[in-house]
Amino acid sequence: MLSLMRGEWYQARKSFAVRLVLVCTIIVGVCFERMSQEYYIANNQLEYATVGGCLCSMMQDTAMCLLYASVFAGLMIGGAFENRTIQSEICSGKKRTYVYLAKMVMYLLVVTVLSLAYWFSGAVVIGLRYGLGTSELIGNLSKPEYLVGMVIACVFADMSLSAICGMIGFMIRKTGVVMGVCFALILAGGNLLAALLPENVSKYFEYTPFRLAYRVLKYDLTWGEIGTTCLFSLLWIWFILGFGIWRFQRTELK
Amino acid sequence: MSDVIIEAEGLTKSYKSQTALKNVNIKLKKGKIYGLIGKNGAGKTTLMRMIAGLGFPEEGSLSLFGKKTGRERTGEKNRIGMLIESPALIEGMNAKENMHWQCLMRGYPNYEMEEKLLNLVGLGDTGKKKVKNFSLGMKQRLGIAMVLLGNPEFLMLDEPVNGLDPTGMVEIRSLLKRLNEQEDKTILISSHNLPELYQTATDYIIIHEGEIREVISHEELEEHCKSYISLESTDTEHMVMVLKKYLHTENFKVMPDYSVRLYDLFTEREKIGQILYQNGVVLTEFSIQQATLEEYYMHVIGGNTNA
């Protein structure tokens, strides 16, 4: 497992796509946030001129996280089947479970790093300019411990969504198709499900990977919400990885 | 210790309605170079994929180095170097980086070995050139270098000379022979290039429609690919009649191109020419030839050409 992880890390480190997207993310994040700030301050929406408010608004952009998850599920997982590196790992005597886990862990790490870069690229600039803000303005998000809790919960929640993309990558195994299916299916499917489900069922929808992140994206955040979001996210990740491994062990590879 | 590296018993596999492998029984013994011969869709790659653990048989058992269960077999796979279909290459990296990734993944990074193997396959001077800019032959060479990492005892190569130029083919052939003779490596090569295989393999496995039709050694093949006298005439029917009536032989075959292959009377070549001439047969071809592996293969699978 350790050697597989080292191999995955080496691949990620050498990947031009990862470096390019990381740099673009930081540039886009800073520019986007600067433009937004000017608008919010002009409209007296001062809560956005705080680290918590800025992070909250950036994290609500889950489509961005889904975009990273889809693109890298295609590049890192679909691409690995196409260039036969996964097959090579299996041929060299590595257990399928470890191959799956190593690939998924590195994939989730890359997507998380990119998401964090996106969230913090703007928040750091805001933090340096305006500080954390007051509790009257943004409630608990003025306190560093709640900010950390929100970010951790959101990272886990986004990981659970990305894990679905990763699993799709292992099922479809074609770069372009994986990207398209992950983005279109999850984005459209998630919204469609939320709209179509009856009210008594849809209240549980917030406990699915599609909506988990939104549970912690609010100013009056509580430790209970942070805890349950982390717990449900980890349960989903565990379930998705487990199902993915079970399926991958039975998959015929070309 | 047993000298059997791979043993398959009753391996069967089908895809939807098509049977890819039918009750395959083979034993690959240490120290040999096996040539796996079969046309497209015969089951060569399916068999290799089963051995590699990429596919699963529906029936039958498979043992690697005497280990039968899936978990035990996985442990033994680091003693095998496999190149199936196409090499596992990361296009955005150069040759050295690909070798290094493979070493890290396998758990034995060794820069010295990486350099040595790259030089061995003639890619030591590719520098920072990315694999995506490599020719097919260069990719194939790099694939072979990667297969040799970790000094495996058994090499399984699917079309290893695919895309190589004639010089490259000769180099890879001599490399494989050297590995077999000097380092006692067992090799299984699948190839459509039968003349190339004929110069490399010590044993041949002929697979057709998912069935192993024959396993034959190079010596036995040479015995089967016996010499014959090739006769061509303007009137094949008349020549056949003369062969039967005046030379008292039926040990010949009429080929689809109307030439005749005569398998005896080698010591009476002058007599053959004389009798045919006396009976009005005008010969346009009279030569001694030998059947090739290709012809023998066609004969075994019941194709048009007969050995």
pLDDT at B306: 41
Closest alpha carbon to B212 in B76, B52, B15, B26? B26
Domain stops at, among B216, B246, B268: B216
Tokens representing B19? 């049977």
State residue A229 phi and psi, 5-degree precision: -65, -45
Statement to judge: residues B45 and B116 lie in one domain? yes
- Min Cα distance A238 → chain B (Å) is 24
If asked whether residues B207 and B235 sit together in one domain, one would say no
Residue B221 lies in a domain: no
In this structure, are B183 and B257 located in the same domain? no
Residue B41 domain flag:
yes
Q: Are B68 and B132 found together in one domain?
A: yes
Tell me, yes or no, whether B300 lies in a domain: no
Round to whole Å and give the CA distance between B166 and B301. Answer: 28
Structure tokens at B291: 């059947």
The pair of three-digit structure tokens given for residue B147, joined into one six-digit string:
């297969």
Rg (CA), chain B: 24
Quote the number of domains for chain B: 2
Q: A247 in contact with B at a CB cutoff of 8 Å?
A: no
ipTM summary value: 0.81
Task: Tell me the nearest-neighbour CA distance from A142 into chain B, angstroms.
Answer: 44
Q: What is the model's pLDDT at position A107?
A: 94
DSSP symbols for B162-184: TT--HHHHHHHHHHHHHHHHHH-
Chain A from 12 to 51: CB within 8 A of any B CB: 14-16
Distances (CA, A) of A222 to A218, A225, A236, B23, B261: 9, 5, 21, 64, 93
Q: How far is B106 from chain A (nearest CA, A)?
A: 6
**pLDDT confidence of residue B1:** 57
- DSSP string covering A96-135, please? HHHHHHHHHHHHHHHHHHHHHHHHHHHHHHHHHHH-S--H
* Tokens linked to B21: 């492998």
Identify the residue whose tokens are 């758990």. Answer: B107
Q: In terms of domains, do B121 and B239 share one?
A: no
Asked if residue B274 is part of any domain, the answer here is yes
Among candidate residues B89, B138, B90, B88, the one with its CA nearest the CA of residue B118: B138
Residues B105, B185, single domain; the answer is yes
Distance from CA of B56 to the nearest CA of A (A): 7
The DSSP secondary structure of chain B, one letter per residue, reads ---EEEEEEEEEEEETTEEEEEEEEEEEETT-EEEEE--TTSSHHHHHHHHHTSS--SEEEEEETTB-SHHHHHHHGGGEEEE-SS----TTSBHHHHHHHHHHHHT---HHHHHHHHHHTT-TT-TT-BGGGS-HHHHHHHHHHHHTTT--SEEEEESTTTT--HHHHHHHHHHHHHHHHHH--EEEEE-S-HHHHHHH-SEEEEEETTEEEEEEEHHHHHHHS-EEEEEEES-HHHHHHHHHHTS----EEE-TTS-EEE-S-GGGHHHHHHHHHHTT--EEEEEEEE--HHHHHHHHHT-SS--
Please answer yes or no on whether B101 and A7 come within 8 Å at the CB atom. Answer: yes
Cβ neighbours for A12, distance < 8 A, ≥ 6 positions apart? A18, A76, A106, A109, A110
B306 in a structural domain: no
Q: What does chain A come to in residues?
A: 254
Final residue before a domain boundary, out of B197, B216, B235: B216
Q: Tell me which residue in A10, A93, A95 faces B104 most closely, judged by beta carbons.
A: A10
Q: Nearest by CB to B56, which of A15, A252, A254?
A: A252
Same domain, B255 and B107: no
User: pLDDT value at position A235?
Assistant: 95
How many CB pairs lie under 8 A apart between chains A and B? 82
CATH number where B25 lies: 3.40.50.300
Last residue of a domain, one of B162, B185, B216: B216
**Same domain for B231 and B186?**
no
Pair of tokens at residue A19: 């470096």
- Ranges of residues in chain A with a pLDDT under 70 are none
Which chain B residues are Cβ-neighbours of A88 within 8 angstroms?
82, 88, 102, 105, 146
Considering only CB atoms, B107 lies closest to which of A3, A90, A250, namely: A3
Could you list the residue range(s) of the whole structural domain that residue B231 is in?
227-290
Q: Which of A251, A254, A249 is nearest to A101 (CA)?
A: A249
> Is B168 within the bounds of a domain?
yes
| Residue B301 covered by a domain | no
Q: Residue A209 half-sphere exposure, CB side, CA atoms within 13 Å?
A: 25
Instruction: Tell whether B297 is covered by a domain.
Output: no
What is the full per-residue pLDDT of chain B (307 aa) written as tens digits?
578 888 889 889 888 878 888 888 999 988 899 999 888 888 888 889 888 888 888 888 888 888 776 777 777 777 888 888 788 899 989 999 999 998 888 887 777 888 888 888 888 888 889 999 988 888 888 998 899 888 888 999 988 887 778 887 888 888 888 888 888 889 999 988 777 888 888 898 988 888 888 888 887 777 777 778 888 988 888 999 988 888 888 888 888 888 888 887 877 888 888 888 888 888 888 888 777 777 777 877 776 544 4
Give yes or no: residues B210 and B75 share one domain. Answer: yes
Q: Mutation target for B interface from A3, A9, A10, A88: give the one with most B CBs within 10 A.
A: A88
Do B94 and B158 share a domain, yes or no?
yes
Rounded CA-CA distance B146/A88 in Å is 10
B104 to A6: CB separation less than 8 angstroms, yes or no: yes
Residue A83 to residue B90, Cβ atoms within 8 A: yes
What whole-number distance in Å separates Cα of residue A171 and Cα of residue A168? Answer: 5
Would you state the structure tokens that stand for residue B7, as one six-digit string? 């043993």
CATH of the domain at B266: 3.30.70
Kindly state whether A254 is in contact with chain B, defined as any CB-CB distance less than 8 angstroms.
yes
Q: Are residues B202 and B231 in the same domain?
A: no
Q: CA nearest A89 in B: which residue?
A: B105
Domain match, B275 and B197 both: no
Q: Do residue A3 and residue B77 have CB atoms under 8 angstroms apart?
A: no
pTM, full prediction? 0.82
